[in-house]
Amino acid sequence: MATTQSTLNMMNFTAAVPATPTPSFDWRNGLPTLSSSMVTLRELRASDAKDLLASLGTAEVTRLISPPPPTVEGFEKFIAWTARQRAAGNSIAYGVTLKGSDTVVGLLQVRSLSGGFDIAEWGFALGSDFWGTGIFMDAAQLVLDFAFDVLGVHRMEAKAAVKNGRGNGALQKLGAVQEAVLRRSFLRNGVYLDQGYWTILCSTWRELRAVRTARIVH
């Protein structure tokens, strides 16, 4: 499962626990670890390069996204780049690990589209062995909570190739709204593909979270 291109830039439903950093917290100095019942999200390390290549470098995963680095060394450079981007306040990247494991099996990125983080774009990719397991929804809820509550995102955007049924379905399930179809806007393997243009607002996300929490309590 993966969204296409801009946010997932390789150098381009269970309840999640909201991030609750202290007021003095500055994510530019390092990302906090986020945990739910199924996954733990943490900042990428250079040693994750081999696992990222194994999980995200397969033809099945990359079929409808911008191609990731083809080598371990390429992923090492990508990981170093994400750290620089975080320190500059431009974007964040979280590695997805299964609860109780430290092996990265997926990636979620959020990048600013404005001077701050009020308008942002996100992208994600998950190893195909974990599609349909609920792991993505768990991880996505954590990242969206962090983006809206900590980064201060007002409007989150995403693009996914129309042919990417899993990616589009996941965005819809999260509560995103498809505002448009960007015709022939993504070049992959020599072919221009249509993309769905999805958005979710902070106010919408908080309403959905309140409903989800109420259901769990009752």
CATH code of residue 88: 3.40.630.30
The answer as to whether 25 is a domain residue is no
Residue 3 confidence (pLDDT): 56
Dihedral sign (CA 6, 120, 49, 17): negative
Per-residue pLDDT of the chain (218 residues; tens, 9 = 90+): 555 443 454 433 223 334 444 344 799 999 999 999 999 999 999 999 999 999 999 999 999 998 899 999 999 999 999 999 999 999 999 999 999 999 999 999 999 998 889 999 999 999 999 999 999 999 999 999 999 999 999 999 999 999 999 999 999 999 999 999 999 999 999 999 999 999 999 999 999 999 988 876 65
Q: What's the pLDDT at 172? A: 96
16's tokens: 């999640």
Q: What is the pLDDT, as a whole number, of residue 12? A: 38
Beta bridge partners of 32: none
Q: Are 122 and 143 in contact (CB under 8 A)?
A: yes
Q: Is residue 60 part of a domain?
A: yes
Tokens 């980064």 sit on residue: 151
Which residues, other chains included, contact 67 with Cβ-Cβ below 8 Å and sequence gap of 6+? Answer: 10
The count of structural domains within the chain is 1
Does any domain span residue 160? yes
Say what the pLDDT of residue 214 is: 80
Distance between CA atoms of residues 158 and 197, nearest Å: 6
Identify the CA nearest to 108 among candidates 120, 121, 91, 125: 125
Please check whether residue 186 is in contact with residue 159, taking contact to mean a CB–CB distance below 8 angstroms.
yes
Q: What is the pLDDT of residues 31-44, one digit of tens each?
A: 999 999 999 999 99
In a domain, 2, yes or no: no
Flag whether 89 is in a domain: yes
Specify if 21 maps to a domain: no
- CA 10 to CA 20: how far, in whole Å? 29
Q: Give the 3-state secondary structure percentages of the chain, helix then strand then coil, rounded to 5.
A: 35, 30, 35
Tell me the two tokens of residue 210: 């309140």
Question: Residue written as tokens 């995963």?
Answer: 61
State residue 115's pLDDT score.
84
**The two structure tokens encoding residue 94:** 């979280």
> How long, in residues, is the chain?
218
Give domain status of residue 7, yes or no.
no
Residue 18 inside a domain? The answer is no
Q: Which range of residues forms the domain containing residue 168?
A: 33-217
Q: What is the DSSP letter of 15?
A: P
CA distance 80 to 132: 30
The candidate with the shortest Cα–Cα distance to 196, out of 157, 144, 147, is: 157
